[in-house]
Each structure stands twice: as structure tokens, then as C-alpha cells.
Structure 1
């Protein structure tokens, strides 16, 4: 039985799972257009959000958790090490992406990219843009230090999440975007990976 992924591929959270699956060599069954309001879907995920992963009788939501699960399921310790300190370094950046970085870009992204009428306050937009630039700057500093990937010299699961985030920042129509060569080099490095080309560069912002 194939593992099933529910969620539209334009979603950045769905795309991180799809990229992870490419790294693992998994061919996921897809359901692109779920009825999020249906009782059947809410029984699987009470948040009524995607992605959702179905593996036999096991259902899982939260995209970062889904990515962790798949890597652990396939025992790909190169992507998420078993050694406690190495694993903690990867998960530190994964959690930072889900919390600090995501919260920094949300208002500006909804305003400038999605053009949401509810997100057009000039003060909040300026704060959001500044926060987005600040947090990408933190990522750039880390990449300058490692010279390669966010957890060190080797590509890990954290780079799936942060690679998509870096591409989103570069693709968004942001004013006063700082010049961050480390981010440019990072995206170029990730562009050697088929999963990023398919679900990052060609997957939209």
C-alpha cells in the first residue's frame, strides 16, 4: 500500500513533504483537492489544514512532523542523524523555521504575494518586511559560518525546510531586500537537487 499525501502542491508545507519524498525515493499517492470542511477530513485533522499523511491506518498532520516521520521511517540518518547532538542541531533549525522564521514573513507574504485585503496596514507591513529580512539575515550568517548547509557540511532535512523558505524570500516582491550572497549561494547549491528544482524553484513561492 502506498503512502498517501493529502494537500495541494502549491502549498509550501505540502511541497516540503514532496521534496522530502524525492530525497527518500518514495512515490506518494496524492490527493490534491481535499474537502477541508468535511467531517471525514476534520476527523483526520481537526485543524482542517494540509498536508496530511496517511500510512496504512496511521494518519499524521503538521508538515515538519510528517517530514521527520518519513525520514525516520526510511532510516535515513544522513538527513536526520541518530546521534543526539547532531540530531539536535538539525532539529534546532527545523523548529526555528517553523516558529521564528515563519512568523516573521506571514504578514508581508499575505500582503504582497497573496494581496490579502486584510493585510494591507502600512505599519504592520513595514514591520513584517523588516522582520522577514532580519530572520533571513540570521540564516545567511549561519550559512556563512558553515560554508555549505544549515547544520554543517552535509545536506540534512533542515535544508528542505529552509531551502524553500530562502526561495520564498528571494521570489517575493520585497522592497529594500538586502544583498545576501550566502543565501544566493545556498539556493544555487540546492538547485543541484532534483527535489528542490521540482518543488522549490518550479513550485512557486
Structure 2
């Protein structure tokens, strides 16, 4: 089977796909794309992913983009440690947290991340950073309270929801500004980092 993952490793969305592929021990070729690596504007790439974004997974001619769709596909197609539960309610909880990461947590912190990591200090907008920080703190507070009563975001078992939310939470925790202590997020992040596939992703710096 030919399997390729397109996208720069510094992308949080690409990191989700890398983590899942590594959890499943699936062989794949990783092609750096996006940002300084280019490629995403080329006609060949746009034919695969018309959004011109990363990641894109190519598997024996089957092409899929959107990071959480890739997580769901890998869980459905390859099972293993990422196998989805049979019980519809348990599966719905995984979907709930995947959607929350994509529609709430990551958008909340995006401006703070861009301003603090990718914008020169003299060009930063303090008001934008403050608003994003406040929105991110609300999400982090909700997640921390949730993790006080469960070892993983969707219940007792590690799942693709932990990969998606874990990548976002890692970025939040290491963003360079003062934030409230979140002991339950930290303990959960540390559990995720004990997984060999998770440790390589959760040790990456912000770029």
C-alpha cells in the first residue's frame, strides 16, 4: 500500500495526522508542504486539495483532507488502538470533542498563537492577543473541569479525540503568556506524552 501525508510538521493539524499514523504503526511517506516548503499552491497539490491547506492524506489513490476527517478515517479503516467504540453514545462523545476542538478551542487561541509566534514583536496587536487569550482561557477552564473526572476527553479510553484536543491543548499550554493553572489538563497531557506516538508530537516547539 502506498501512503503519503502532505503537510509541514509544524502545523497542529498535520501533527494530528502524524500522531494517528504513528499510533497505528502504519508506514507512510511524509512530504513537507505548506509555509516555507511551498507545494500547496502547485496545480498537482490543488488537484488533491483545492483548499491549498494541509494536511492531505493519500492512500492508494484515495485522497482525504481536513485533519479530523483523516483521524476518523484512520480509526474506521485501520482500527487498532484507535478503533471507534460500537456504542453510538460513546462514539458520539468522541465526535463531540473532535468538533469542539475544531470549532471552539483552536479558533479561540488562533489569534494569540499567530500574534505571539508568527508576528514580529513590534507588529503585534495587544488587543487581539488579549481577546484571544481570554477566549482560550474560557475553553481551557472548561476542559480542565471536564478532565477532573475522566482520564481521557471522551471517557475511560484513549481515542482520536485525545489526539485532536491534545494537540490543541499542548499549543495552549506552551504559548508564551501568563495563564491560570490547569492541573487536570497538565496531568492528562503528561499521560498522553507517555505514549511513544504522542511524545514526539507533544515535544515539538511552537513555530
TM-score (norm 2): 0.91
Structure 1 CA distance, aligned partners of 2:77 and 2:138? Answer: 35
Q: 1:119 to 1:45 in 2, by over 3 A?
A: farther
Cα distance change on mapping 1:119 and 1:151 into 2, 3 Å: farther
2:162 maps to 159
Task: Give the whole-Å Cα distance in 2 for the aligned partners of 1:41 and 1:12.
Answer: 20
Q: Does 1:84 pair with 2:88?
A: yes
Do residues 204 (structure 1) and 168 (structure 2) align?
A: no
> Which range is displaced more, 98-107 or 80-89?
80-89
The number of residue pairs the alignment matches comes to: 202
When the two chains are superposed, the root-mean-square deviation of aligned CA atoms in Å is: 1.8
Q: What is the correspondence of 1:97-112 to structure 2 with a 5 Å cutoff? A: 97-112=101-116
Equivalent in the alignment of 1:56:
60
Deviation at 1:102, TM superposition (A): 1.0
Q: 1:16-165, aligned counterparts within 5 Å?
A: 16-33=16-33, 35-76=39-80, 79-115=83-119, 120-146=124-150, 148-165=151-168
**1:2, distance to aligned residue in structure 2 (A):** 2.4
1:107–1:128 CA contact under 8 A, matched in 2: yes
Q: 1:120-174 CA deviation, whole Å, 9 max, x = no partner?
A: 332222111111111011111110121x111111111100111111211111102
Match of 1:195 among 182, 194, 197: 197
Report the alpha carbon displacement of residue 80 of structure 1 after superposing the two structures with TM.
2.2
Residues in 2 aligned to 1:134 and 1:149: alpha-carbon distance in whole angstroms: 19
Structure 1 residue 192, shift from structure 2 partner = 1.1
Q: Which runs of 5+ in 2 are unaligned?
A: none
Shift in Å, 1:118: 11
Q: Could you list the runs of 4 or more consecutive aligned residues of structure 1 that deviate by over 3 angstroms after TM superposition?
A: 76-79, 116-119
Kindly indicate whether residue 6 of structure 2 is the aligned counterpart of residue 6 of structure 1.
Answer: yes
Q: Is the 8 A contact 2:111 2:132 kept in 1?
A: yes
Q: Does the 8 Å contact 1:119/1:125 carry over to 2?
A: no
Q: Which runs of 5+ in 1 are unaligned?
A: none
Task: Give the secondary-structure state (helix, strand or coil) at the position aligned to 1:145.
Answer: coil
Alpha-carbon distance in 1 for matches of 2:82, 2:56: 24
| Corresponding position of 1:174 | 177
Q: CA deviation at 1:77?
A: 7.3
Give the match's secondary structure for 1:163: helix
